Structure 1
Amino acid sequence: MRVYLLYRLGLWLNALLPWALGVRVAAWGGAWHRRVCPADRAIVRSNLSVLLSEGIAENDPRIREVFRHFGWYLLEFFRGHRDDLHASISGYHHLLSAVRPRRGCIVLTGHVGNWELGAILLARAGWPISVVALSHTNPRVNGLFDDQRRRCGVGVIPFGPHAAAGCLRALQQGGVVGLAADRDYGTDGLPVQLAGHRWIVPRGPAVLSLRTGAPVLPTFFTRSSSGGFALSIEAPIWPPAGPWTDGEVMTLTQRYAQAIEGAVRRFPTQWLMFKPLGSVTP
């Protein structure tokens, strides 16, 4: 209940405060998260050390920046229904060329920048997009997130045993399916190399692509130092035609991981991953 009430308070402030003040309050919220969650703070420090190949001190300002970005992510997401969302877009032609009738495409991302706003921006551009979303432990908190996604025109496919069927249905209707693939929340993930470390990611994106023939487009929505946003859509990764093997699932999954690693290395303080890099178990 306490978590839900904190979110409700945040939503109330978000609706009340002007943007500039909201940004400051969100940054304060991120700083509060950093102070009260030493375990998350230690994980962020460890991950930055791995990504940047350098020792990161406990008081390194880049650690604080990660938590500020997390606060901004929440602020931006719950303002996503407003009309003032603008971003520069690169690689839009990749999306235009990838979708076919009765066979959509898979937009693959990680917890980098604001993945939720990336989906919202595509929905605003007229794309029928649905995202696979992990449910929050608190059903009332989960409702806040799913209601906001739907309010912004983004369909929700709950993570779980029926997610694959929902993804297949969306792709067969020529839609776009959004997947965050930098962490496996199931039990059958695959080990890949990420920043030189063994890391478990989901096999689902590769299996879905191979089963349907739908290409995977690595896509990332990030913030610039000036406060603007950028949506980057990379060239599609096409699955091989015909019967496929576990080896092809592994090969595709590693390619997806490399695309995510590229984004994470470009924007290390925007990677909102609170699980230690190098973990071998999901």
Structure 2
Amino acid sequence: MNVAAAYTFAWRNATKIPEPVLRGLFTVVADVTWLRRTKGVRRMEANYARVRPDLDAAAIRRLSRAGMRSYMRYFREAFTLQGVTPEQLKARVRVVGYDEHVRPGVDAGGAASLALGHLGNWDLAGAYGSRYLAGVLTVAERLKPDELFDEFVRFRSSLGINVLALGSGDVLGALVRGAKEGSRLIPLLSDRDLTSTGIEVDLAGHRARVAAGPALLGLEAGVPVHAVSIIYERLRGDRRRAARTPWGIVITFHPPLPVPDAGLPRDERARLLTQSWVDQLARTIVEHTHDWHMLQRVFVDDLGPARQNAARRARETG
């Protein structure tokens, strides 16, 4: 199967299908995938079990069904996002905490480093942010084949999001330069370490490896670091009619994280900053677990031997 061609076809044709039909189709895809207990579903359930030890196996199984429906909702919305009008976009998003915690600095010409998890719909959040809040600069995992990655870049560019490819040159340097240009939001999906050089933290009571990007960007560029959580919510009444869909998202900008003592080593300052945003997102993950689209290994105990050895060497060498 040509994955890039399939994604391209979906992006170009999904908007031609009535929304209720498309919604039903993706719900069926979610349920069939869940019933088949694919590798991704099993990993999702293992991750859910770690953050929700209060639930038994049957409850985790039910939670993973809701998780797959939430995940397929993300894809359905992504495939049709280019056809959403500004009015629909505004109706689909509710923002909490931006005016209090972020807007004053950005409006004054500053930037903000935003630590995101794979929660809700981050593309919808990016599209809204680029239109209604500030310029958006981010980093994307370089997908294979290259044609698929190029499609993702074109898609996000069409939403007003500037994208850097992870692993292409000095990405951190480019982010720092972007932050210093000012009036910019820099959201980074960071609840999974894609490089094996991330930072080990406590996530909901378990050791996990996450990306160092938000903390390093904050320290290098001298900009505030915020955790940002995104969850789905049901729409009703006038807002649902304006959105033309029963689902919207809530983007919560948490307060800026305290900057660690400048006298500490750089790595320790990055670790402390990272643990702080992980603590804030962990609360959202526990409370809205079904909106956490984590179908990959993130906890240290689940990593393969090679990555466990890399993590151990990283701890030993600081």
Question: Please, what TM-score do these two structures have when normalized by structure 1?
Answer: 0.91
Match of 2:195 among 174, 181, 186: 186
- Residues 106 and 176, structure 1, Cα contact 8 Å, conserved in 2: yes
SS of equivalent to 1:231: strand
Deviation at 1:260, TM superposition (A): 1.6
- Residues 101 and 173, structure 1, Cα contact 8 Å, conserved in 2: no
Count of matched residue positions in the alignment of Structure 1 and Structure 2: 282
Structure 1 residue runs of 5 or longer lacking an equivalent are none
Match of 1:163 among 151, 161, 171: 171
Deviation at 1:272, TM superposition (A): 0.5
- Residues 214 and 238, structure 1, Cα contact 8 Å, conserved in 2: no
Q: Which amino acid aligns with 2:256?
A: P
- 2:218 aligns with 209
Does 1:106 find its partner at 2:116?
no
Q: Which amino acid aligns with 1:256?
A: W
Question: Please, what TM-score do these two structures have when normalized by structure 2?
Answer: 0.81
Deviation at 1:49, TM superposition (A): 1.6
- Residues 197 and 277, structure 1, Cα contact 8 Å, conserved in 2: no
Residue pairs, 1:76-225, within 5 angstroms:
76-81=77-82, 82-83=84-85, 84-85=88-89, 86=91, 87-93=93-99, 94-99=101-106, 103-160=110-167, 161-174=169-182, 175-225=184-234
SS of equivalent to 1:228: strand
Match of 2:277 among 251, 256, 281: 256
Cα separation, 1, equivalents of 2:187 and 2:60: 35
Q: Once structures 1 and 2 are overlaid, which stretch shifts more, 23-32 or 230-239? A: 23-32
Deviations 1:55-91 (A, max 9, x none): 2239832211111111111111232232122212111
- 2:255 aligns with 235
Q: Which amino acid aligns with 2:98?
A: Y
Relative to structure 1, the CA distance from residue 99 to residue 8 in structure 2 (aligned partners, 3 Å threshold; closer, same or farther) is: closer
Relative to structure 1, the CA distance from residue 33 to residue 6 in structure 2 (aligned partners, 3 Å threshold; closer, same or farther) is: farther
Deviation at 1:9, TM superposition (A): 3.9
Q: What RMSD over aligned residues (CA atoms) do the two structures have, in Å?
A: 2.2
- Residues 26 and 76, structure 2, Cα contact 8 Å, conserved in 1: yes
Residue pairs, 1:3-22, within 5 angstroms:
3-22=3-22
Q: Which amino acid aligns with 2:196?
A: T
Relative to structure 1, the CA distance from residue 275 to residue 193 in structure 2 (aligned partners, 3 Å threshold; closer, same or farther) is: same
SS of equivalent to 1:80: helix
- 1:268 aligns with 289
- Residues 215 and 237, structure 1, Cα contact 8 Å, conserved in 2: yes
Percent identical residues: 22
Structure 2 residue runs of 5 or longer lacking an equivalent are 236-246, 308-318
